[in-house]
Amino acid sequence: MTDSLQDKLLEIHRRLCLIFGCPVAYFRALDPLSELVSSLLSHRTRNAASGAAFRALRTRWNGDWAAVRDADPAEVEATIAGVTWPEQKAPRIQAILRRITELRGELSLDFLAELSVPEARAWLEELPGVGPKTSAAVMSFSSLRRPALPVDSHHHRVAVRTGLIPASVAVGPSHRILEAQLPPDWTAQQIYDNHEVLMLHGQRVCSYRDPACHRCVLLELCPTGQARMGGAEPVSLSPLGR
C-alpha cells in the first residue's frame, strides 16, 4: 500500500464523517453468538427482513439457541422464511450451532473476548459458511466491540469506484486489503465508523445502478465519478444526516 492510498482513505473517511457524523452510534449490542446468527441471516437479505427473521427465531424458541440447534429443521426454515435462501440458511445455522457445541462443550462465543482479533476471526472462519465479513461483524457489531472491518456490498462498491481497491477484487478478499489501509492505531470505534460511513454513502449516494455523482462529496477523489461527470466541480460538504 502506498502512502497516497492511505491518504485517500483518510480523506474519504474525513469527508464522510462530516456528512454522517462520527463517532457513529452502534446500532445494537448482541452477545457474539446472537450476532453470529443475525449476520448469517443477513446475507443477501435486506435489513428489515433479516431483522424480522432474527426476532422470530428468538421469540419462537425464547432466545434459547440450543433449542434452535435441536429444533426440526423444517420449523426453523419456516420461521426464517422471509430471508433469501431460508432452505440453505436454516440447516447452516443449525450445523454451526452444533459445531460450536462440539468444539466448546457449550453454546457460547463469549470466550472470543480472550483471544486476539486475528485468532478470534480465524476460529470463527473455521465454522461452516463463515467468511471474513461474518467474522468481522461478530467482532465489531457484537458486545465484544473489537477492532475489525466488515465490508458489505455498499462499502465494497464505494471502495472500488474511488480506487481504494481494484474492481477485480471481490468482497471477501477486499477485507484484508481495506483493513491494511487503516491506520494501525485506530480504535474499534473508528474502524466501525469507517465501515458505517462508506456503507451509508453507498446506500444513499453511490448506488449500484444510478450513482448520484452530481451530489457526491467524494467526486474529486473518485475516478469513476470524474469519468461519468466529465470533470465536474467538487460538491460542497453539507451534512445529509443518517
- Distance CA(74)–CA(76), nearest Å, equals 5
Distance CA 150, CA 27 (A): 14
Whether residue 73 contacts residue 82, with contact meaning beta carbons closer than 8 Å, is answered with: no
Q: What pLDDT, in 10s, does the model give residues 61-111?
A: 999 999 999 999 999 999 999 999 999 999 999 999 999 999 999 999 999
> From CA 140, how far away is CA 117, in angstroms rounded?
10
Residues 9-57 have pLDDT tens digits of 999 999 999 999 999 999 999 999 999 999 999 988 888 999 999 999 9
Query: What is the DSSP secondary structure assignment for residue 112, as one 8-state letter?
Result: G
Flag whether the pTM goes above 0.85: yes
Fold of 3-24+151-229: Endonuclease Iii, domain 2 (1.10.1670)
The secondary structure of residue 184, as a DSSP letter, is: T
According to CATH, what is the number of the domain 32-141? 1.10.340.30
Q: Where are the domains of the chain?
A: 3-24+151-229, 32-141
Positive or negative torsion for Cα 33, 37, 38, 42? positive
Sign of CA dihedral 20, 156, 148, 178: negative
**Separation of alpha carbons 156 and 170, rounded Å:** 8
Which pLDDT score is estimated for 1? 44
Tell me whether domains 3-24+151-229 and 32-141 share a fold.
no
Residue 209 makes CB contacts below 8 A (sequence gap 6+) with none
| pLDDT for residue 234 | 54
Q: How many Å apart are CA 132 and CA 172, to the nearest integer?
A: 6
Cα gap 61→66, rounded to integer Å: 9
